[in-house]
Chain A
Amino acid sequence: MSAFREIARNGIWKQNTGLVQLLGLCPLLAVSTGFVNGVSLALATVFVMAMASGVVASVRGFIPHEIRIPVFILIIASLVTVVDLAMNAWLHELYLVLGIFIPLIVVNCIVLARVEAFAAKNTPLAAAWDGAMMGVGLMVAIAVLGGLRELIGSGTLFAGIEMVIPGAQALQLLPADYPGFLVAILPPGAFIVLGFMIAGRNWLDARAERRARLAAPAQASV
């Protein structure tokens, strides 16, 4: 059980794809103009990563080492196509917003990286869990980034939620006459906010480490 907890910790915090590995930045930066867009794409990525890792781990015994990459890509591309068609059919408005970024999950290097580094060597259940948790890590990063950019840029949160949950309403957090802060919505804003998030995460890590170091000798002397 603890192995699974370790995988989750790894995916969400220690090896967070968005904030530590800095992999898959293209969707992270481009789609995080708002909370709903970002999280929706991240959910699609979580699904693809869990499925791809699970499938690859299940059939890894049949895949010769030399042709593993084409087979992996084949599996990932098929799953993404399935997600793409399904979203086009049942979440059409959201599909129009996310546009090109859904098919681009195929070339998101996190997916292939986890399949190659983890799923090809582990049991299907652990691999699916690892894929899902890596995706969740991306989702957390994109949710915070998207939420902050949306709040700073236009003063709302969850704009466009009605595309996913009919009838739901966006929150107007800042006064309605908030003039908006354009830079946050534009691409440079994505880089700036992401930079602060990485700094914040590193600061938290450094603080935890410092505390651990201070606590350890004290315990030893008792």
Chain B
Amino acid sequence: MTEPAALNASLRNAAILTVFAVLFTTLMAVTYRATRPVIEASAEQEKLKLVNEVLPAERYDNALLADWIVIAPPHAGLGLSAQDEPLRLFRARTAGAPAALVFEAVAPDGYGGRIRLLLAVGADDRLLGVRVVGHKETPGLGDYIDPKKDRNKASPWISQFDAKGFGEVAAADWKVKKDGGRFDARAGATISARAVTHAVRRALQFAVDQRDKLYSLPAQSALQKETP
């Protein structure tokens, strides 16, 4: 092939590739436009459904998903390391008065790595509910921390934290029974339970210590880093 012919061929190829790229990008853009409202609605729905598992909808009357503050990593109380994404803490209120704090926490020391938790802490400093929202614990062994996988449906393992506060179980006893604490763990899979129990204690401690500040910060602002 001569020089100009080769140049022509590559220009032609580039043009064809461009046409295909434009064509199929258009197809993707159209699909994106068509599905976006549904996807956004279901993401919102998903979040509310999770929140409602730890905090029944009748316990608050504000627009929960709009009343949040940002917690910037690193944060020892919530198990956040410096590389983590900032977390949102949602504030539930009834008639303007504090009702509950809903936030995520991380147990960094699960058997299969990090366990992500969602907690609701009532204004009386007691836990309303805890759920595992992400984990890599061994299926069938350590995954009973997630009530969907727990064989005991009537009172799943994680429900033992419900309605507990440091008034019911002192912080020093906030351990699994095997470590001399007050909480159950299944035989052979203590590590998962221990990780969750400790993370719940740290998170509850954080919510209790900072309660007034957390409720009073303006919505959609950031919690300032603790300065020692």
25 A–B pairs (Cβ distance < 8 Å), ordered by A: A62-B16, A64-B12, A64-B16, A66-B13, A67-B13, A67-B17, A70-B17, A71-B16, A71-B17, A71-B20, A74-B17, A74-B20, A74-B21, A74-B24, A78-B28, A82-B27, A82-B31, A85-B28, A85-B35, A86-B31, A92-B39, A92-B42, A153-B140, A182-B140, A182-B141
Chain A residues with CB below 8 A from B27, complex form: 78, 82
Nearest-neighbor residue (CB-CB) of B32 within chain A = A85
- Complex interface bits, A68-103 against B, C-beta within 8 A gives 1, otherwise 0: 001100110110011001101110100000000000
Instruction: Check: B25 CB closer than 8 A to any chain A CB.
Output: yes
- Complex interface bits, B30-50 against A, C-beta within 8 A gives 1, otherwise 0: 011001001100100010000
Chain A residues with CB below 8 A from B42, complex form: 88-89, 92
Asked if residues B140 and A89 are in contact (CB atoms below 8 Å), the reply is no
Interface size class of A (residues with CB under 8 A): 20 to 34
* Chain A facing B: main interface SS: helix
- Complex interface bits, B125-151 against A, C-beta within 8 A gives 1, otherwise 0: 000000000000001110000000000
Q: Smallest CB–CB gap between A118 and chain B, Å?
A: 20
- Complex interface bits, A29-66 against B, C-beta within 8 A gives 1, otherwise 0: 00000000000000000000000000000000011101
Instruction: Check: A180 CB closer than 8 A to any chain B CB.
Output: yes
Chain B residues with CB below 8 A from A92, complex form: 39, 42, 46
Number of A-B contacts (CB under 8 A): 56
Chain B residues with CB below 8 A from A180, complex form: 140
- Cα-based distance from A160 to B32 in the complex (angstroms): 27
Instruction: Check: A186 CB closer than 8 A to any chain B CB.
Output: yes
Nearest-neighbor residue (CB-CB) of B27 within chain A = A78
Asked if residues B38 and A78 are in contact (CB atoms below 8 Å), the reply is no
- Cα-based distance from A85 to B32 in the complex (angstroms): 7
Q: Apart from A67-B13, A78-B25, what are 8 other A-B pairs with CB-CB below 8 Å? A: A63-B16, A64-B13, A67-B17, A71-B17, A75-B20, A78-B24, A92-B42, A182-B139
